Amino acid sequence: MKVRQQCIDSPLFEDISKVYPIVDETGSDSAMFDSSLEFLHLTGRSLPHAVMMMIPEPWEKNELMSKEKKDFYEFNNFIMEPWDGPAAMGFSDGVVIGGVLDRNGLRPSRYYITKDDRVILASEDKVFTAGDMRRGQSLIVWALQEGKLAAREVDKYLMGKSVIK
């Protein structure tokens, strides 16, 4: 993010350098990830979009992935390099709650959705046995009155935001 910081510009700030540093390099890896994610989200991207930018699933050689999704990842790859973990990240903005594993899948994660719609995500193996996550996979639960959106619908929504057509 430090290298990308030099390319940031906005007509909303007379002196954009006043918002620097975007990432405090004296912080932990988790703190640097959090600062980067917050910055991307506050620039107008949805939280799932920002997470998918930071930790994209392995897309380059995935023959089963749609062209739209590959285009989304390719476009965002020009904006920033992927965060390469090992990591299991949980995130929420009050509307969306989710979890994502790094592209290598080196960190185990388990999730469970209870009968009363609570979501439990653990970054340690054998906490409970339900919904094992795999490398590059994400879990997103969208809190809408209509109910839960499937990951496929979230992907469609986010791919509609892609600039490459």
How far apart CA 15 and CA 109 sit, in angstroms, is: 42
pTM: 0.70
pLDDT for position 92: 86
CA angle 87, 93, 98 (to 5 degrees): 40
Q: Where are the beta strands (DSSP E) in the chain?
A: 88-92, 96-101, 110-113, 119-122, 138-142
Going 127 to 130 to 136 to 142, the CA torsion angle's sign is: negative
Q: Tokens 């969306």 identify what position?
A: 96
pLDDT for position 161: 58
Give the closest residue to 109 by CA, choosing from 129, 90, 132: 132
Domain locations along the chain: 2-159
Q: Tokens 């390469």 identify what position?
A: 84
How far apart CA 61 and CA 42 sit, in angstroms, is: 31
Q: Which residues pair with 41 in a beta bridge?
A: none
Structural domain 2-159, CATH architecture: 4-Layer Sandwich (3.60)
pLDDT for position 102: 80
Query: Coil, helix or strand for 65?
Result: coil
Report pLDDT digits (tens) over 24-67: 888 888 888 888 899 889 888 999 999 999 998 888 888 999 99
The series of mean pLDDT values per 10 residues for the chain, 165 residues long, is 72 77 85 89 90 89 91 90 79 84 76 78 64 56 42 64 48
How far apart CA 92 and CA 49 sit, in angstroms, is: 12
